[in-house]
């Protein structure tokens, strides 16, 4: 006997998937065409929130040589502040949290500032299957030199998702123009990854349920600045040259994103 309820459920699931893809495609097309107005954003009044990923007690990933992701995030955020100021931005809020990670508090802290947009700074790793053991200074660590490069994450569940995509596109454009490649590892069809591209040519991924992207009341982009388990990239990301290129790229994108009055 034909099970109507099962067929109805399957059909409804298919409809929901098609509808979700249609919304995503519309967002990308609108963002690419610039056929909608961005929120007004003037250099001397723009409010930018820089979210320093993780905390000292919840430090995120560990690099190939044992440094915490949080330390990388904090260092890059400090350089980013300088580059944003050099572009004329004066109202900057650095969301640096202590203690253990509390996503609800992190989002509430960002929203309380009422920023025009949020840049969340992170550094990347890869799944455990790609990591190998090695010793550095007599201590055991794990590394993976397979992938390198930055990634950008956006939530299409954010109320300002189309503006988030536009901001991400501007960041990607500046990073690429400065010769920094993006990584495709988040799109791999494996457990722990398998993320959908929003712009496969710009290294922009869809990450709908990440709290700092989904629940902020303004456009938000998470920047994975590079892969710290890659030994060569870890060294580059530890240096002032790479940090300045990354920060300069983000600041240039912010400048282009903000409309002058």
Q: Which CATH number belongs to the domain containing residue 50 in this structure?
A: 3.40.630.40
At 157-199, the pLDDT tens digits run 999 999 999 999 999 999 999 999 999 999 999 999 999 999 9
Which residues neighbour 93 within 8 Å (Cβ) at sequence distance 6 or greater?
Answer: 47, 48, 49, 50, 110, 113, 115
Name the nearest CA neighbour of 64 among 257, 211, 235, 255.
235
Shared domain for 147 and 227, answered yes or no, is: yes
Shared domain for 148 and 234, answered yes or no, is: yes
> What is the SS3 assignment for 91?
strand
Shared domain for 28 and 50, answered yes or no, is: no
Query: Structurally, how many domains does the chain consist of?
Result: 2
At 37-85, the pLDDT tens digits run 445 688 889 999 999 999 999 999 999 999 999 999 999 999 999 999 9
Shared domain for 17 and 85, answered yes or no, is: no
At 82-96, the pLDDT tens digits run 999 999 999 999 999
> What is the SS3 assignment for 241?
helix
Shared domain for 14 and 60, answered yes or no, is: no
User: pTM of this prediction?
Assistant: 0.86
Q: Which domain holds residue 42?
A: 38-257
Shared domain for 149 and 181, answered yes or no, is: yes
Shared domain for 98 and 14, answered yes or no, is: no
Shared domain for 160 and 231, answered yes or no, is: yes
């Amino acid at each position: 006997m034909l099970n109507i309820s099962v067929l109805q459920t399957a059909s409804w699931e298919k409809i929901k998937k098609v509808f979700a893809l249609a919304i995503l495609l519309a967002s990308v097309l609108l963002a690419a065409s610039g056929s909608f107005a961005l929120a007004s954003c003037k250099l001397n009044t723009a409010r930018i929130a820089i979210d320093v990923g993780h905390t000292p007690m919840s430090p995120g990933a560990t690099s190939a040589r044992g440094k915490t992701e949080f330390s990388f995030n904090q260092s890059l955020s400090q350089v980013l502040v300088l580059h944003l100021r050099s572009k004329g931005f004066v109202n900057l809020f650095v969301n640096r949290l202590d203690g253990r990670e509390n996503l609800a508090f992190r989002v509430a802290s960002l929203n309380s500032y009422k920023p025009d947009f949020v840049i969340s700074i992170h550094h990347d790793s890869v799944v455990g299957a790609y990591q190998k053991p090695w010793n550095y200074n007599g201590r055991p660590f794990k590394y993976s030199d397979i992938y390198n490069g930055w990634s950008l994450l956006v939530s299409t569940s954010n109320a300002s998702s189309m503006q988030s995509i536009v901001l991400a596109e501007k960041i990607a454009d500046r990073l690429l123009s400065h010769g920094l490649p993006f990584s495709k590892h988040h799109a791999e069809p494996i457990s722990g990854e398998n993320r959908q591209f929003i712009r496969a040519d710009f290294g922009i991924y869809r990450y709908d349920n990440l709290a700092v992207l989904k629940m902020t009341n303004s456009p938000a982009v998470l920047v994975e600045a590079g892969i710290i388990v890659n030994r060569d990239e870890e060294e580059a990301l530890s240096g002032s040259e790479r940090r300045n290129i990354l920060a300069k790229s983000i600041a240039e994108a912010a400048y282009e994103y903000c409309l002058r009055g």
